């Protein structure tokens, strides 16, 4: 039974894990396709002038400056597919700022007159995208550099591990503050770089330990004896053996990084439109308390769901459930 099969069985056996996976899938879909849930412009419009798709992405400022009636007049006679909520995070309501919840604005508006519901929907993208991208880059760097340190040894091992210790000793907030000072645009790139710089060291340590453990295993010795190239050994055997601990390390890091991004945005070092910024607006800039409550609830659900899925991944990769490398004897082929 493979690691993926065990994980699938573990998720199916736990109702909480299934609900957590469903919520993460929904949050990811909402982050990627935020314009489908809330936007000023239509998702797609087919008319005499041609086809307009995702105008909120291609022309956000143009549609944000138009009222809802002006947008409807522009696409009068077109075959239009509208978002679920026809308001975006950039449009300022003509009804005013700090409005109470109403039919036009279910969660009200903030101090700038922007719709809170649209801000919360699009805040998920700003909160999750830098976290996931930074974690993916850190995992890749940790895998490559950790495997290099473990397999080459000697100077490579010493140099890379000292670098990992140096990066791991620097707080993420300090790295992010330096990067924001260099580039104050706050596009999310600084947060991605900060997560990658600090996080890769932890992944590299795990991969290094596993590579040292696997170096003298029977399967590795047999593969080399049969003439497998180093790349074939790495691809067919090392990656398969390292997949479980690497998945556990990555999954366990996700909840912490979700809260980290919220904290950085709360301090003004993250992406301006994220959930953490919405919470900060309520406390610092007299923003919407209802918007802050919604952001806190969504953050808690996302971090909690990530923790439940991480627990399921850790259980599926537990040594009690998985056979060790010494007991695992897959077919070795020469490539």
Token reading at 7: 């994980």
| Number of domains into which the chain is organized | 2
How many C-beta atoms surround the C-beta of residue 31 within 10 A?
20
Q: What is the pLDDT of residues 129-168, one digit of tens each?
A: 999 999 999 999 999 999 888 888 788 889 999 999 888 8
Burial class (CB in 10 A: 0-12, 13-18, 19+), 138: buried
Same domain, 100 and 198: no
pTM of structure: 0.83
Q: What is the pLDDT of residues 5-30, one digit of tens each?
A: 666 676 677 788 888 889 999 999 99
Token reading at 102: 């109403």
Same domain, 108 and 148: no
Long-range contacts (CB closer than 8 Å, 24 or more residues apart) made by 70-74 = 71/40, 71/41, 71/42
- The last residue of one of the domains, among 114, 146, 164, is 114
Same domain, 46 and 75: yes
Question: Mean pLDDT, to the nearest integer, of 84-111?
Answer: 88
Same domain, 99 and 209: no
22 within a domain of the structure (yes/no): no
Same domain, 183 and 76: no
Of 273, 254, 253, 256, residue with least CA distance to 265: 273
Domain that holds residue 150: 117-316
Helices (H), 170-238: 172-182, 189-215, 218-225, 230-233
Residue 322's pLDDT band (cuts 50, 70, 90): very low
Burial class (CB in 10 A: 0-12, 13-18, 19+), 133: middle
Question: Mean pLDDT, to the nearest integer, of 52-79?
Answer: 88
Higher pLDDT, 198 or 329: 198
Same domain, 171 and 274: yes
Token reading at 264: 């950085």
Residue 228's pLDDT band (cuts 50, 70, 90): confident
Same domain, 164 and 302: yes
Distance of CA 40 to the CA centre of its chain: 25
14 within a domain of the structure (yes/no): no
324 within a domain of the structure (yes/no): no
CA distances from 155 to 71, 152, 216, 238 (A): 64, 8, 20, 22
- The last residue of one of the domains, among 80, 114, 148, is 114
Same domain, 222 and 175: yes
Overall size of the chain counted in residues: 335
- The last residue of one of the domains, among 114, 148, 180, is 114
């Amino acid at each position: 039974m493979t690691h993926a099969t065990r994980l699938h069985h573990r998720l199916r056996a736990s109702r909480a894990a299934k609900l957590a996976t469903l919520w993460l899938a929904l949050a990811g879909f909402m982050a990627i396709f935020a314009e489908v849930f809330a936007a000023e412009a239509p998702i797609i419009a087919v008319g005499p002038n041609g086809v307009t798709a995702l105008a909120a992405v291609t022309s956000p400022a143009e549609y944000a400056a138009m009222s809802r009636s002006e947008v409807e007049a522009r696409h009068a006679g077109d075959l239009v597919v509208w978002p679920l909520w026809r308001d975006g995070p950039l449009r300022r309501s003509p009804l005013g700022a700090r409005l109470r919840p109403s039919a036009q604005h279910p969660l009200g508006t903030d101090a700038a007159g922007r719709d809170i519901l649209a801000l919360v929907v699009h805040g998920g993208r700003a909160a999750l995208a830098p976290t996931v991208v930074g974690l993916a880059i850190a995992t890749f760097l940790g895998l490559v550099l950790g495997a290099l340190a473990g397999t080459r040894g000697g100077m490579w091992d010493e140099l890379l591990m000292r670098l990992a210790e140096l990066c791991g000793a620097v707080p993420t907030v300090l790295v992010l503050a330096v990067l924001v000072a260099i580039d104050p645009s706050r596009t999310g790139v600084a947060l991605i770089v900060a997560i990658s710089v600090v996080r890769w060291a932890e992944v590299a340590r795990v991969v290094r330990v596993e590579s040292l453990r696997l170096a003298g295993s029977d399967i590795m010795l047999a593969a080399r004896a049969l003439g497998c190239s180093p790349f074939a050994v790495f691809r067919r055997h090392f990656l398969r053996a390292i997949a479980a601990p690497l998945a556990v390390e990555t999954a366990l890091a996700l909840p912490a990084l979700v809260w980290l991004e919220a904290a950085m945005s709360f301090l003004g070092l993250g992406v301006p439109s994220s959930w953490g910024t919405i919470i900060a607006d309520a406390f610092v800039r007299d923003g919407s308390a209802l918007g802050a409550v919604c952001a806190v609830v969504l953050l808690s659900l996302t971090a909690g769901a990530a923790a439940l899925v991480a627990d399921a991944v850790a259980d599926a990769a537990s040594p009690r459930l998985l056979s060790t490398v010494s007991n695992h004897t897959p077919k070795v082929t020469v490539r």
